[in-house]
Structure 1
Amino acid sequence: MTMKKRRKTAITRKRLPVRESSFPGNSCKILIIIIVAGFASLSFGFGDANHPHGEEPYALIFGTVWSPDGRPLYGVRVKIRAEAKKAHWELYSDHSGEFAQRVPAGKADYLVTADLKGYKPRAGIHLQGGAEVTVHVENDERIDIGLHLK
């Protein structure tokens, strides 16, 4: 039995030529310029920092509805009406007794009322009447109020 010797062939890899960019050494500089230009476009965008483009300035009326015993009330109907205009909003207090409504910024008076008609009292709790507060808004600000029911 004769064994043939296998001839080992070496695997050779061809090296590909290295391509040099058309701007040697400047690719990092170009990347930095693009990043800086991106941040500059964000800071010089439309509108100012307080009012992004397309968003009108507003004031926020934020409040809490309280029961006579000092507990927050859920599901109480709250009405907000502009005294000088016919604009009005109707919303309900959440599980924490809180509500929030955006109103147009600028000098205006708003009448805020809490109405118990929309509230279903729990067993053993009997509430009557409502609460009313006048809120004066000067600019785009947040006004915090508390409505204490009798």
Structure 2
Amino acid sequence: MTSSPFQLRFRIVARWILGVVFLLAGIVKLTAPVAVYAGLGSYQLGLPDTIVRLIAVVLPWLEIATGALLIFNRWVETASGLAALLAATFVVALGQGIARELSLNCACFGAVDLGWFSQPVPALGRAMLLLVLAVSLAAGEWRRTQSSG
């Protein structure tokens, strides 16, 4: 089964959007691990402090790897699945924080303040858009690999 021109364009655009967002978010988080740790703490997930610290250290590298793989068109099926998993985690974390009316520090881009774009509701919308893009890309990649044998 061959892909339509729309599917090919969508694949490229989705890879680049997801890749750039995850790559930039990861790089910025690397420069401000304390802000990331504090931001994660604001979600009050009930995780032990050691786990929160581990997430604050590992998350930027996961985002960088995911973004780079998508941008450089390598292991796209795996990278898009990982992007979907990360985005779904962000949606759940932000959603529960908003529902509980917590004073969230998104820390989506480390210590960089994006103004209203860093507020929890726009951050949730952004995470939901990333999730839709990542799931669409992952599903397309899965169909593409299944049809090519």
Common fold: TM-score over 0.5 = no
Q: Which structure has the bigger radius of gyration? A: 1
The TM tier, using the shorter chain, reads: under 0.3
RCO (CA 8 Å, sep 6+): is it higher in 1 or 2? Answer: 2
Instruction: State the TM-score, normalizing by the size of structure 2.
Output: 0.23
Structure having the larger proportion of residues in helix: 2
Instruction: State the TM-score, normalizing by the size of structure 1.
Output: 0.23
